[in-house]
Amino acid sequence: MSNVRHLRDKAPDSEKITINLGYVDLGRIDLLVQEGFYSNRSDFIRTAIRNQLDGHGDTVSKTIERHTMELGLRDYTRADLEALRDAGEMLHVKVVGLARIASDVSPDLALATIGSITVLGALQASPDIKKALADRIT
């Protein structure tokens, strides 16, 4: 008997981005980190981004309403898509945040039920699903 346990792969709760900064700005950030205002450069950058997003909160909310987009995490399960297929309906995914298509969804089911995908953030789906829906992802 084996004592090996399989743990589910944990999906990342963030996305890595790369930015270019001038040396003076970088030095100023390092000074604030050195003085203890922030724990590291990433902490400063995350805080600055959140402050900017908070300052534009009303605009983001109105835009989401105008585009009828969902905000946050949206999971699409095989059962969800099968129900749409059985009802003869097509799904148009519009998410600000993270959209996830379950790993047990087949490319054929996705093609039969997903008309378009617009995600401002990240889309997590199998490579086969992304390939099948490539012309529907904007």
- Encode 4-34: b = buried (16+ Cβ within 10 Å), e = exposed: eeeeeeeeeeeeeeeeeeeeeeeeebeeebe
Q: Can you give the pLDDT at residue 7?
A: 53
What pLDDT digit, counting tens, does each position of 27-77 carry?
A: 999 999 999 999 999 999 999 999 999 999 888 877 766 557 888 999 999
Structure tokens belonging to residue 137: 């992802």
Rounded CA gap, 58 and 44, in Å?
23
Burial of 114 (0-12, 13-18, 19+ CB in 10 A): buried
What pLDDT digit, counting tens, does each position of 10-37 carry?
A: 666 788 889 999 999 999 999 999 999 9
Rounded CA gap, 105 and 126, in Å?
9
Laid out side by side, the sheet with 91-101 consists of 70-76, 91-101, 114-124
Which helix (H) or strand (E) segment holds residue 6: the answer is none
For residue 122, which of 73, 86, 58 has the smallest C-alpha distance?
Answer: 73
